[in-house]
């Protein structure tokens, strides 16, 4: 009888409007005292479902067709008029299953969820997300979009907040937050296998965790990406974690506190407009302090796995190795400026600040490479800490290009429990250093440690008088051209180089641009090592007021215009 009545009401409603309402007042098409949200989903008939905030729905919803569910309405009159409040409709999973499961469909479907709070779901084991489980078993395509929604306080095996498995589908967040979810296997916030995950405007993956001490588990506190999943993040903030944007405050007992990517997955952090930074901050790997767990902010592993970062703030992340980012097992990382678009800060495009590797034999405060590969441009590194390789540590045939970047004020002379040995430590690995300014890093040992592998240091400034030793290079002979050094001890193949004070604009206040009297101006030749623009995006040029030393290009990350252009100091 109830089933027949629902069918009659749905048909009648369909003749009048393209949506139905569910709530507890007399204006509602369906009253929650008689009908569940699942009832309306089952007899959707192509209608949009609008749900009030008048009561919490204790349900576990199953969806197998295209549908739109909108919450946030104070009453059904507002739902009829599409007047949405600032509140969200709460669906409580009661810790008995996923709050919403989308599966068992055999043709492409689209699901839109608006102004909902999915909470207290629990589903353990494989193919299991606490807040949502999205399973495209037939690989036909499923697109799920969340608008101004919250997925919070759920527990899942793979994806405390969301489990997503689809070769051709996508999960997209718009002004939505994945908050305070837990996973028992991998992916505290989101686990994705194939397909696309898009963290859109004003969205965040915040304060999620995964804990498991087993091999291959405990990875991806915020996001776990495998099977070629592509993760794109467009949202972020320069402010507090409690703005709930970007990837922040997540923890993993193993690798990848913020993001873990493997098996050909791709991560893109894209700040495509000025003042829209993408933040990876306050995340931690090795959350159980077992000394196993790399990549506090991001962990990349495996051939074909990659990340591209444009306009990012990597701040105060921690791990055993690679406080900011760890790249291992032939994975690759690129940092730069996106297609010439202005960055979030006039002076900074990518910034690594305050990241740390473990005080117990932790390597790579900002970046750790183990048979991984990085190409970093337009980046600044400061206040990072590690036992060794305070900024970057590389081993096992890793390769690194560091260009058009500033490396300054990292380390603290071995205090606070860290040894702070070497700014850059490379072992059986390759380093290309080009148009880089290294200044006032408080490390012990030497500025650069290079043992075997290969290197090319060109058109750069290394001023670290607190260190004393410029380089410690063994078992290798490489290129050392157009370097302005505080000390040439340890370099054995210098050409067109000098030991001198570079005379920065304001060294005391960390402004490492070149002053008008700098010896670095027009010091370097125009050759294969010269880049077309400097750190700030200014074109390289030949200063007509100076007699060239060895060429027409400046050493370091800044091309001086001798006051012809007004620059802003942002350090």
Structural domain including 565 reads 388-571
Average pLDDT of 12-31?
A: 84
Do 326 and 465 reside in the same domain of the chain?
no
- 66 & 178 share domain: no
Residue 380 lies in a domain: no
Q: Note whether 215 and 277 are same-domain residues.
A: yes
Residues 130 and 71 in one domain: no
pLDDT for 144-165, tens place per residue?
A: 999 999 999 999 999 999 999 9
Query: Which residue, 407, 521, 534, 400, is CA-closest to 463?
Result: 407
Q: Would you say residue 463 lies in a domain?
A: yes
Q: Among 60, 92, 124, which residue terminates a domain?
A: 92
Distance between CA atoms of residues 286 and 292, nearest Å: 6
The pLDDT tens digits of the residues spanning 455-471 come to 999 999 999 988 878 99
Residue 37: other Cβ atoms inside 10 A? 20
Amino acid 151: pLDDT: 99
| Residue 367, domain member (yes or no) | no
Q: Are residues 270 and 317 in the same domain?
A: yes
Question: What is the count of structural domains for the chain?
Answer: 3
Structure confidence at residue 534 (pLDDT) = 84
Domain boundary (63, 92, 121) is at 92
- Residue 195 belongs to some domain of the structure: yes
**Are residues 570 and 485 located together in one domain of the fold?**
yes
Q: What's the pLDDT score for residue 542?
A: 58
Helix and strand counts by DSSP (H, E) for the chain: 3, 51
Residue 350 placed within a domain: no
Residues 117-143, mean pLDDT to the nearest whole number: 96
pLDDT band at residue 172, thresholds of 50, 70 and 90? very high
Average pLDDT of span 27-43: 96
Tell me the whole-structure pTM to 2 decimals: 0.94
Q: Mean per-residue pLDDT for 478-486?
A: 95
Burial 106-120 (b: 16+ CB within 10 A, else e): eeebebbbbbbbbbb
Range with the lowest mean pLDDT among 12-21, 286-295, 341-350? 12-21
| Same domain membership, residue 283 and residue 162 | yes
Look at residues 34, 57, 92 and tell me which one is the last residue of a structural domain.
92
pLDDT surpassing 60 at residue 8: no
| 338 against 528, higher pLDDT | 338
In tens, the pLDDT along 533-545 reads: 888 877 766 565 6
Same domain, 433 and 508: yes
Shared domain for 545 and 517, answered yes or no, is yes
* pLDDT the model gives residue 543: 60
User: Average pLDDT of 327-342?
Assistant: 88
Domain-located, residue 18: yes
pLDDT at 557 over 50: yes
CA atoms of 381 and 355, how far apart (whole Å): 10
Q: What are the backbone angles phi and psi of residue 6, rounded to the nearest 5°?
A: -60, -45
**548 lies in a domain?**
yes
435 confidence band (pLDDT: 50, 70, 90): very high
Residue 551 is predicted with a pLDDT of 66
Q: What is the mean pLDDT of residues 310-323?
A: 97
CA-nearest of 311, 313, 327, 328 to 283 is: 313
- Do residue 88 and residue 153 come from a single domain? no
CB 120 within 8 A of CB 99: yes
Q: Are 118 and 148 spatial neighbours (Cβ–Cβ below 8 Å)?
A: no
Do 196 and 316 lie in a common domain? yes
Does residue 489 form part of some domain?
yes
Query: Within this chain, do residues 105 and 81 fall inside the same structural domain, yes or no?
Result: no
**Mean pLDDT on 385-411:** 98
């Amino acid at each position: 009888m109830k089933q027949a009545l629902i069918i009659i009401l749905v048909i009648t409603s369909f003749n009048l409007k393209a949506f139905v309402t569910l709530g507890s007042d007399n204006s509602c098409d369906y009253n929650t005292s008689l009908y569940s949200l699942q009832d309306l989903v089952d007899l959707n008939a192509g209608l949009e479902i609008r749900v009030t905030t008048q009561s919490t729905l204790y349900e576990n919803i199953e969806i197998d067709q295209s549908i739109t569910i909108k919450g946030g309405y104070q009453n059904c009159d507002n739902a009829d008029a599409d007047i949405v409040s600032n509140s969200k409709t709460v669906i409580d999973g009661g810790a008995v299953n996923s709050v919403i499961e989308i599966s068992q469909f055999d043709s492409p479907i689209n699901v839109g969820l608006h102004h909902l709070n999915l909470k207290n779901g629990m589903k353990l084991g494989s193919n299991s997300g606490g807040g949502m489980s999205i399973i495209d078993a037939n690989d036909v395509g499923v697109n799920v979009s969340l608008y101004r929604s919250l997925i919070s306080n759920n527990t899942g095996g793979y994806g405390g907040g969301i489990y997503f498995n689809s070769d051709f589908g996508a999960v997209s967040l718009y002004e939505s937050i994945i908050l305070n979810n837990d996973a028992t296997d991998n992916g505290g916030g989101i686990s994705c296998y194939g397909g696309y995950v898009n963290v859109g405007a004003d969205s965040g993956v915040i304060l999620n965790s995964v804990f498991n001490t087993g091999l291959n588990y405990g990875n991806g506190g915020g996001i776990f990406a495998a099977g070629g999943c592509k993760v794109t993040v467009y949202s972020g903030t320069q402010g507090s974690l409690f703005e709930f944007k970007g990837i922040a405050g997540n923890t993993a007992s193993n690798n990848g506190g913020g993001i873990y990517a493997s098996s050909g997955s791709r991560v893109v952090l894209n700040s495509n407009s000025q003042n829209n930074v993408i933040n990876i901050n306050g995340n931690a790997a090795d959350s159980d302090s077992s000394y196993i767990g790399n990549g506090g902010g991001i962990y990349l592993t495996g051939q074909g796995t990659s990340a591209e970062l444009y306009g990012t703030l990597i701040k105060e992340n921690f791990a055993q190795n690679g406080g900011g980012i760890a790249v291992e097992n032939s994975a690759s990382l690129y940092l730069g400026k996106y297609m010439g678009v202005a960055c979030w800060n006039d002076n900074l495009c990518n910034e690594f600040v305050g990241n740390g590797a473990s005080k117990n034999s932790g390597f790579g405060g900002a970046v750790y490479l183990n048979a991984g590969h990085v190409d970093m441009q337009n980046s600044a590194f400061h206040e990072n800490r590690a036992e060794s390789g305070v900024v970057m540590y590389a081993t096992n045939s890793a390769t690194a290009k560091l260009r058009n970047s500033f490396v300054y004020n990292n380390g603290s002379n071995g205090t606070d429990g860290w040894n702070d040995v070497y700014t850059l430590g490379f072992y059986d690995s390759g380093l290309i250093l080009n148009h880089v300014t290294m200044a006032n890093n408080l490390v012990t040992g030497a500025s650069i440690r290079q043992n075997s592998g290969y290197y090319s240091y060109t058109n750069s400034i290394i001023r670290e008088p607190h260190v004393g030793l410029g380089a410690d290079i063994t078992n290798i002979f490489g290129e050392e051209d157009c370097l302005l050094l505080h000390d040439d001890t340890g370099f054995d193949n210098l050409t067109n180089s000098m030991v001198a004070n570079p005379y920065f604009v304001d060294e005391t206040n960390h402004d490492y641009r070149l002053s008008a009297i700098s010896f670095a101006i027009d010091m370097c030749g125009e050759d294969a090592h010269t880049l077309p623009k400097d750190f700030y995006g200014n074109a390289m040029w030949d200063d007509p007021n100076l007699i060239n030393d060895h060429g027409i290009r400046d050493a370091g990350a800044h091309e001086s215009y001798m006051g012809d252009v007004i620059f802003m100091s942002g350090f």
